[in-house]
Amino acid sequence: MRTLIHGGTIVADGRSRSGDVLIAGETIAAVGKAVAVPAAVDRVMDATGCVVFPGGIDPHVHLGLETPQGTCGDDFASGSAAALAGGTTTLIDFVTPRRGASLLDALAARKDAARKSLCDYGLHMSVTAWSDRVLPELEACCRHEGIGSVKAYLAYKETIGLEDREFLTLLDAARALKFLTLVHAEAGDMVAYLQKQLLAAGKTAAAFHPLSRPPEVEGDAVARALLMARLAGVPLYVVHVSTRQGLDAVAAARQAGQAAIAETCPQYLVLDESLYAAGGDAGAAAVMSPPLRSGEHREALWQALASGLAQTVASDHCPFDLEDKRRHAGDDFTRIANGIGGIEYRLGLLYTFGVRTGRITLERFVDLVATRPAKLFGLYPRKGAIRAGSDADLVVWDPGRKWTVRAAGQWQRCDHTPYEGLELQGAPRFVLSRGAAVFAAGRLDAAAGRGRYLDRSPLRGNDGRCG
């Protein structure tokens, strides 16, 4: 099967050019002007007036996640369907072993759950406690199981969070095993203290959630996590940075020559803390950690995307139905199901509010949503690039297409969305995953289970980690 994507503007690897993309089977065969005569291929896809870029890579999603507050709405089938419909062709989810449980057993269970994915996927390991068995298991994960990145939480100390000494031990392991460390940087002890104070004072409603996680608590944790990474001599990837303080800490580390990477999410760029004040369903629905912030932080995040200080935009997709959001919305904000859905809207939101407003260039957009995550997580140039030999994961993006976000019509499985009613411009005309046209004209054509697990281990020759 030879497919020609014809007549678009190709945006990849930091530049734009007009040209065609020739696909043979699952991979890109040639890129450029007149790479094939349309009559000589099996299928021509018209990209006139469109931008052609590498399929989005969402490096931070939670599918089929079980929490004490309920199971998040999407499993790997529905979540990956939503990803494809929004222009994301690769996702990376997490393995979160219970404390004391085997990392390898937990990984096997997640690989099993992920098998029904419609798109290609990887998994980050998480370390939720340190013990003597963790290091040999981590080594086995990195040598034999395709793991190239490991996450630690500095919040949630009562369940999955690490103490500083454990985090430092993990950073030592990162140096030895060459995985990239991800950190959820909120100072857990301070959050727990503030939660207790607020609840004791009768401040139990959803509106008090952000007061338990003030910007300084993120800033402190980012700075300390980066200091520990500096002591250990390893790079650090900070997930969902939401504040100016967090960005300042990353900037300081970068200026000192450290490899510090900041991820942010569309919710912190587009929404703000006024949703909590609105109360009711809107307030409970907006409970996520870190919480939404004020305009000052939003502006700092946009500037960080433009300057390159923040390097990736991930969704942190984790939707819950309103029932799970409402259950404790009045009596205990710490027990409100935590998270929102966004895997489907990541590209549309960033394009509308970033590219169309002139805050970021189209080339930067592509880097943020596809190329940089590919490079950081051991997928480049198999993914995140448009060149001969790369997987034919491509988005043909119609920059003129206007649409309105409606929970009623969304692919992700959730009965609401905090983006309800937002008018966006820009949407996929076609999405290709390994050469297959999986999304076209608003229709999905992809079978559950067609996605493949991606080996991302740097110990097995996956390169491009620091590009």
Q: Given candidates 316, 324, 367, 391, which one binds Zn ion under the rule CB under 5 A?
A: 316
Q: Which stretch binds Zn ion (CB under 5 A): 51-59, 98-106, 165-173, 316-324?
A: 316-324
According to DSSP, the residues that pair with 404 across neighbouring strands are 423
Q: CA 307 to CA 255: how far, in whole Å?
A: 14
Residue 96 Cβ vs Zn ion, minimum distance, rounded to whole Å: 10
Binding mask 261-300 for Zn ion (x = CB under 5 A): ----------------------------------------
CB of 342 or CB of 435, closer to Zn ion: 342
Residue 408 burial (10 A CB sphere; 0-12, 13-18, 19+): exposed
The distance of closest approach from Cβ of residue 290 to Zn ion in the complex, given in angstroms and rounded to an integer, is 10
Measured distance CA(9)–CA(377) in Å, rounded: 27
Q: Mark 366-405 with x for binding to Zn ion (rule: CB under 5 A) and - for no binding.
A: ----------------------------------------
Q: Between residues 239 and 427, which has the closer beta carbon with respect to Zn ion?
A: 239
Task: Give the C-alpha separation, 221 to 229, whole Å.
Answer: 12
Each residue of 87-117: b (16+ CB within 10 Å) or e?
Answer: bbbbbbbbbbbeeeeebbebbeebeebbebb
Residues 295 and 21: their CA atoms lie apart, in Å, by 41
Task: State which residue, 263 or 393, has the beta carbon closest to Zn ion.
Answer: 263
Enclosing H/E stretch for 278: helix 274-278
Q: Considering only 51-59, 193-201, 202-210, 310-318, which stretch makes contact with Zn ion by CB under 5 A?
A: 310-318
| Beta carbons of 291 and 276 less than 8 angstroms apart | yes
DSSP SS3 for 142: helix
Are 371 and 13 spatial neighbours (Cβ–Cβ below 8 Å)?
yes
Residue 220 binds to Zn ion (criterion: CB under 5 A): no
At its nearest, how many Å lie between Zn ion and the CB of residue 60? 6
Measured from the CB of residue 75, what is the shortest distance to Zn ion in angstroms? 16
In the complex with Zn ion, the residue whose CB is nearer, 219 or 290, is: 290
Taking the least distance from each CB to Zn ion, the nearer of 120 and 316 is: 316
Task: Identify which of residues 316 and 367 has a Cβ nearer to Zn ion in the complex.
Answer: 316
- Cα angle: 28, vertex 265, 381; to 5 degrees: 20
For residue 62, the minimal CB distance to Zn ion (Å) is 6
For Zn ion (CB under 5 A), the number of binding residues is: 1
CA distance 431 to 325: 33
Stretch that binds Zn ion, among 134-142, 250-258, 312-320, 346-354 (CB under 5 A): 312-320
Q: What is the SS3 assignment for 4?
A: strand
Determine the interface stretch with Zn ion among 140-148, 204-212, 313-321, 375-383 (rule: CB under 5 A). Answer: 313-321
Q: Is the peptide bond before 418 cis (omega within 30 degrees of 0)?
A: no
Q: Scanning residues 115 to 174, which ones bind Zn ion (CB under 5 A)?
A: none
Using CB under 5 A, which of the segments 223-231, 244-252, 282-290, 308-316 binds Zn ion? 308-316
Minimum gap (Å) between residue 185 Cβ and Zn ion = 12
The region of 229-237, 255-263, 315-323, 413-421 touching Zn ion under the rule CB under 5 A is 315-323
Task: Specify the residue, 218 or 398, whose C-beta has the smaller distance to Zn ion.
Answer: 218
d(CA 252, CA 236): 13
Residues 6+ apart with CB under 8 A from 148: 122, 142, 179, 180, 377, 378, 456, 457, 458, 462, 465
* Residues in CB range of 249: below 8 A, 6 or more apart: 219, 222, 223, 226
Cβ contacts of 154 within 8 Å, gap of 6 or more? 161, 162, 167, 183, 184, 185, 186, 187, 188, 221, 224, 225
Closest-CB residue for Zn ion? 316
Least distance from Zn ion to the Cβ atom of residue 358, Å: 30
We find the least distance from the C-beta atom of residue 339 to Zn ion, in angstroms, to be 7
Least distance to Zn ion from the beta carbon of 323, Å?
Answer: 21
Cα dihedral 334, 337, 343, 349 sign: negative
Minimal distance, residue 315 CB to Zn ion, in Å:
9
The window from 38-46, 248-256, 314-322, 447-455 that contacts Zn ion (CB under 5 A) reads 314-322
156/290 Cα distance (integer angstroms): 12
Interface ranges with Zn ion (CB under 5 A):
316
